[in-house]
Amino acid sequence: MKSLNLTSQRQAVYDIVLNSHDHPTAAEVMNRLVEQGHSLAYGTVYNSLRYLSDKQMIRELKLGEAASRYDARMDDHQHIICEVCGAVDEVMNQVPREWMNTVAKDTGYTIGHAHVVFGGVCPNCKNKKNN
């Protein structure tokens, strides 16, 4: 296992991501740190997120938005994004092996992993629209 150098700043950033279920952006991590009384520079937060991602403690999600989001769940799962409010939720279904085999056959790639991002309208936004 890679050796870890978890400074107090990195630990604070990790704790925010670990205890967040909404896949926060770096700016949201920063705001939550401030709310908890931490005083970290933006550069420190971004560098900590990169370090934690590099050490595979968190996952950086590039979901087609301007800003990356961060997830502390490292098990294999997918994501779904509300196209109205931008909420991100986890989808615990596995990518079907048949899909991966088809993509490998069509592209010639050897596939190591897959991450599928679904788009739709979340229940809250759907309910607002129907009222």
Task: For residues 65 and 123, give the distance between their C-alpha atoms in angstroms, rounded to a whole number.
Answer: 21
- Annotated binding-site residue? 123: no
Please write the tens of the pLDDT for every residue from 93-111. Answer: 889 999 999 999 999 999 9
- Annotated binding-site residue? 102: no
Averaged pLDDT, 2-17: 89
- Annotated binding-site residue? 125: yes
Domain(s) labelled CATH 1.10.10.10 in the chain stretch across 1-74
Q: Which CATH number applies to 75-130?
A: 3.30.1490.190
Task: For residues 131 and 113, give the distance between their C-alpha atoms in angstroms, rounded to a whole number.
Answer: 41
- Annotated binding-site residue? 85: yes
pLDDT score recorded for residue 104 = 96
Task: State the helix-helix crossing angle for 8-18 and 26-35, rounded to 10 degrees.
Answer: 110
The CATH topology of domain 1-74 is Arc Repressor Mutant, subunit A (1.10.10)
The b/e string for 100-116 (b: 16+ C-beta within 10 A; e otherwise) is: beeeeeeeeeeeeeeee
Domain(s) labelled CATH 3.30.1490.190 in the chain stretch across 75-130
pLDDT score recorded for residue 1 = 43
Question: Bigger pLDDT: 2 or 87?
Answer: 87
pLDDT score recorded for residue 2 = 56
